[in-house]
Amino acid sequence: MSLKKNNSRHIGVWTASAFVISSMIGTGVFTSLGYQLVDINTAFPILLLWLIGGIISLFGAFSYSELASAFPRSGGEYSILSKVYHPAVGFIGGFVSSTIGFSAPAVLAAIALGKYTVAIFPQLNSTIIASVIIILFNLIHSQTLKYGRLIQDWTTIGKIVLIVFFIISGLLIDSPQNISFLPIPNDGSLIMSSSFAVSLVWISYAYTGWNSTVYIAGEVKNPQKNIHYSLLFSTAFVTVLYILLNFIFLFSTPISEMRGMIEVGFIAGVNIFGDQGGRIVSGGIALLLLSTISSYVFIGPRITQVIGEDFKYLRFFSKVNNSGIPINGFIFQLSISLIFILTSTFEQVLLYAGITFIIINTITVIGVIVLRFHQPALNRPYKSWGYPWTQIIFTISNLWILYFTFKNQPFESLIGIGIILISLIFYFSGHRITNKGQ
């Protein structure tokens, strides 16, 4: 795909925003509350968690908007980090994203969809459902841009409508829970506890996807304006939805029923809609997850495509079909996704990827400060609000999350670091092979 051709930019601000929204709203918001309630039993700290997660993501979006408007090329952190630091650093971001960063979340959403579908139709097999859905979306997005965009737009609309309906219905219930959403005396100690910090890891996962537009920047119309519009609007919008949705969970459902449970959406649905509410919510969430799967499946191959354009030994991934779609990237992504589904190891791999992504996101945001010093004359159509404090707060917050992740999950943390080291080995080995062939 030639990034210089005007017709290569076919994604408007709405579709770009739809990718961000659909990437963010997925399994996290319907699963993580139960884990937070294990150690945090009052409403105010819970809602504060979601607000803090949204603010951190918004600060990240400010930084990514500046970088992506200055370097409007698809590839996400790969393209940005290559220009800010060194191609090896960019390769790390691209390697992690293209191998597990997008495949694993799509698979997680597909398997969750399968579980919710089986709750309605017990005779079905959730693994088969997940596999079919992943194959279907890879086929759709690898064949045409038109239908891919339509599916993305309409599934995102459906996702928003479902959540808004859930929120309104929850507000109208006859018997809300006797719970205070204002601070109470013990909340201060909870907010300063390690449990609060660890819960931010779950929140961080729920907000994953706030930077999605930068992965398709080379296909966005008028990128200097539309990239930051889509990132900032979508992140702020999802933050409001998340806070309202968790308010409804707590408002409508006893904490004791949700504590330690994954299927909080199902449990809240029963309390809001009655005995048949579980089936209704299961079906609705299954449809909601289609949008998440669609966005991750669409974006992943764009990263491998850009890497293939820059590295001769990976040129295979740069090939496109007659519609300008990186077909080989889709084949690669589909293969990894099916391995995850059939081996059921994707949850652990996703944890490894989550650790590496926090590291990469932090390095990327620091890149705003680095560029301001080293390239002050660089054309920046959009400049980050609150510079440099937004970058400093984002960095400190992520280091705080990483500290507790390393402390509580040292093995997974070491594997995450191992993924980064493997990508470096692959980068330098490939360069050596290329140099020998010249």
**Which pLDDT value is given to residue 2?**
38
Q: Which residue has the higher pLDDT, 268 or 145?
A: 268
Q: Which region among 102-116, 141-155, 218-232 has the lowest average model confidence (pLDDT)?
A: 141-155
pLDDT at 71 over 50: yes
pLDDT in tens, 136-154: 999 988 876 666 566 666 7
Residue with tokens 């650790």: 355
Q: What is the model's pLDDT at position 9?
A: 67
**Sorting pLDDT into bands at 50, 70 and 90, what band is 346?**
low
Residue 330: pLDDT band with limits 50, 70, 90? very high
- Distance from C-alpha of 346 to C-alpha of 29, rounded to nearest angstrom: 19
Give, in order, the Cα–Cα distances in Å from 1 to each of 28, 58, 91, 278, 309: 34, 31, 20, 46, 9
Cα separation values, 46 from 183, 271, 308, Å: 11, 20, 43
Rounded to whole angstroms, the Cα distance separating 276 from 20 reads 32
Kindly report, residue by residue over 114-132, the tens digit of the pLDDT.
877 877 788 888 889 999 9
| pLDDT bucket at 362, cuts 50 / 70 / 90 | very high
Span 335-356, mean pLDDT? 74
Query: Is it the case that residue 30 has pLDDT exceeding 70?
Result: yes
pLDDT at 93 over 80: yes
Distance CA 328, CA 334 (A): 10
Domains and CATH numbers, the chain: 6-437 (1.20.1740.10)
Tell me the pLDDT band of 244, cut-offs 50, 70 and 90: very high
Is 168 strand, coil or helix?
A: helix
pLDDT band of residue 1 (cuts 50, 70, 90) is very low
For residue 220, give the DSSP letter.
Answer: B
Asked if 216 and 17 count as a contact pair (C-beta separation under 8 A), the reply is no
Percentage of residues of the chain with pLDDT beyond 90? 23
Cross-strand partners of 220: 11
* Positive or negative: CA dihedral 209, 214, 215, 221: positive
Virtual CA dihedral for 198, 361, 314, 223, nearest 10 degrees? 140
**Mean predicted confidence (pLDDT) in 223-234:** 81
Query: Which structure tokens are listed for 48?
Result: 């504060």
Q: Which pTM was predicted?
A: 0.81
Amino acid letter for position 369: I
Residue 248 has pLDDT above 60, yes or no: yes
For the chain, give the mean pLDDT.
83
The 3-class secondary structure across the chain, one letter per residue, is: CCCCCHHHCCECHHHHHHHHHHHHCCCHHHCCHHHHHHHCCCHHHHHHHHHHHHHHHHHHHHHHHHHHHHCCCCCCHHHHHHHHCCHHHHHHHHHHHHHHHCHHHHHHHHHHHHHHHHHHCCCCCHHHHHHHHHHHHHHHHHHCHHHHHHHHHHHHHHHHHHHHHHHHHHHCCCCCCCCCCCCCCCHHHHHCCHHHHHHHHHHHHHCCCCCHHHHHHHHECCHHHHHHHHHHHHHHHHHHHHHHHHHHHHHHCCHHHHCCCCCHHHHHHHHHHCCCHHHHHHHHHHHHHHHHHHHHHHHHHHHHHHHHHHCHHHHHHHCCCCCCCCHHHHHHHHHHHHHHHHHCCHHHHHHHHHHHHHHHHHHHHHHHHHHHHHCCCCCCCCCCCCCCHHHHHHHHHHHHHHHHHHHHCHHHHHHHHHHHHHHHHHHHHHHHHHHHHC
| Exposure class string for 318-356: b at 16+ Cβ within 10 A, else e | bebeeeebbbbbbebbbebbbebbeeeebeebbbbbbbb
Does the pLDDT at position 369 exceed 90?
yes
Q: Contact 227/62 with Cβ under 8 angstroms?
A: no
pLDDT surpasses 50 at 187: yes
Asked if residue 5 has pLDDT above 50, the reply is: no
Per-residue pLDDT at 237 exceeds 90: yes
- 33-68 pLDDT per residue, tens: 888 898 898 999 999 999 999 999 999 988 988 888
Task: Please report which helix (H) or strand (E) contains residue 338, including its range.
Answer: helix 327-343
Q: What is the DSSP string of 230-281?
A: HHHHHHHHHHHHHHHHHHHHHHHS-HHHHTT-S-HHHHHHHHHH-TTHHHHH
Query: Is the distance from CB of 137 to CB of 320 less than 8 angstroms?
Result: no
